[in-house]
Amino acid sequence: MSDRAVDSESVSGTAETATDGGIDLDIGPDDDESVQPYVESPIIMATVRVVAPFVFTFGLFIMFHGADSSGGGFQGGVIVGTVILMLGIAFGIEPIREWLSPAAVVALVGSGVAAFVAVGVLTVVADGAFLDYGAVGIHHASKYGIELVELIIGVIVAGIITGLFFAIASGVRGGDSA
Position 178 confidence tier, pLDDT thresholds 50, 70, 90: low
Percent of the chain residues past pLDDT 70, beyond the cut: 73
Query: Crossing angle of helices 102-125/141-172, nearest 10°?
Result: 160
Q: What is the pLDDT of residue 136?
A: 85
HSE toward the beta carbon, residue 74, CA cutoff 13 A: 1
> Whole-number mean pLDDT of the chain?
79
Cβ neighbours, 10 Å, residue 75? 18
Confidence of residue 65 (pLDDT cuts 50, 70, 90): confident
Of the given ranges (52-56, 137-141, 151-155), which has the lowest mean pLDDT?
A: 137-141
